Amino acid sequence: SKITGKGRVTHYDVELNNERERRLAIEEQIRHGLEHNEFDVWYQPIIDARSQKMVSVEALVRWPRRPEGPLAPDEFITIAETSGLIYGLGQFVLSRACQDLEPYRDLKLSVNISPAQFRDPEFEAKVEGALALSRFPATRLQLEVTETYVLENPERARSAINNLKAQGIAVALDDFGTGYSSIGYLRRFNFNTIKIDKSLAGLVDHDEQASALVSGTVRIASALGMTVVAEGVENEKQMKLLRLAGCDQLQGYWYSQPMPIEAIMALRQQRQC
């Protein structure tokens, strides 16, 4: 810590230092965790709004075997991004998810990709490699990106999206409705899918403005030929309203929490979805 003019360590300095040490410790733990198989990939069903059948799953990384105790993805993903460890972690998630889903031919797979991963000029080639190794067809894969990524380098984003689409891979704009993401993006980048964030979709059952915003978004996205997914569906009323608003697919705790692949398949059999 720094010593102030009066020779005292300020509270502010101590906090900053603690935060930095914590980040460094977690960085080291991620490195260790990747080498020692501490990470898992869980899946959350994505349901067709009309048929109520499971059509796809989203892969979500978990860290259940961290010796210091489990940590939420929001926390360790950020640290993995700033330290470059996201390349290894992202590659692990993609490969594992392709392996896990390969036998279930009627299900698609959606995988989250960090903006940092796209900075890698080899990204598209690495995806192709992971698909080839697991014999997973490109046409069953969708990658989810956020607008941060598009904002960071629109030219690179446009070419990456087009390269991926040329391979047969679909690209989704995740967390729509959280940032500045506007209808403009939808037109300028050829996303196959938009995912309406849970902070917006989750309001439809008690906020008319949010409801109108969702309906408007769905109308425009559909007119542009995009699939619309609503995230964070937590109750039956939301499910019905989002379906009425025209969302094509629904995802949320109302259907299922994220779970290991075996549990997802058991649920599917039990509910015949």
Total residues belonging to the chain: 273
Does 181 bind Ca ion (CB under 5 A)? Our answer is: no
The site string for ligand C2E over 205-244 (x = CB under 6 A, - otherwise) reads: ---------------------------xxx----------
CB of 2 to ligand C2E, least distance (A): 34
252 touches, from ligand C2E, Ca ion, none (C-beta below 5 to 8 Å by class): ligand C2E
CB of 16 to ligand C2E, least distance (A): 25
CB of 195 to ligand C2E, least distance (A): 7
* Rounded-to-integer distance, Cα 21 and Cα 107, Å: 42
* Rounded-to-integer distance, Cα 165 and Cα 162, Å: 5
Does 60 bind ligand C2E (CB under 6 A)? Our answer is: yes
CB of 117 to ligand C2E, least distance (A): 7
Does 147 bind Ca ion (CB under 5 A)? Our answer is: no
Does 248 bind Ca ion (CB under 5 A)? Our answer is: no
* Rounded-to-integer distance, Cα 193 and Cα 18, Å: 41
Q: Which is nearer to ligand C2E, 15 or 75 (CB)?
A: 75
Alpha helices in the chain (DSSP H): 11-35, 73-83, 86-101, 115-119, 123-134, 147-152, 154-167, 183-188, 198-201, 208-223, 236-244, 261-271
CB of 174 to Ca ion, least distance (A): 4
Helices 11-35 and 73-83 cross at an angle (nearest 10°) of 90
Site of tokens 């008319």:
208
Query: Near Ca ion by CB under 5 A, which window of 38-46, 62-70, 166-174, 246-254?
Result: 166-174
Residues numbered 104-163 forming contacts with ligand C2E, rule: CB under 6 A:
112-114
Of 184, 256, 166, which is closest to residue 221 (Cα–Cα)?
A: 184
Encoding tokens for residue 232? 């964070």
Full DSSP string of 22-39: HHHHHHHHHHHHHHTT--
Query: Near Ca ion by CB under 5 A, which window of 23-31, 49-57, 110-118, 151-159?
Result: 110-118
Does 72 bind ligand C2E (CB under 6 A)? Our answer is: yes
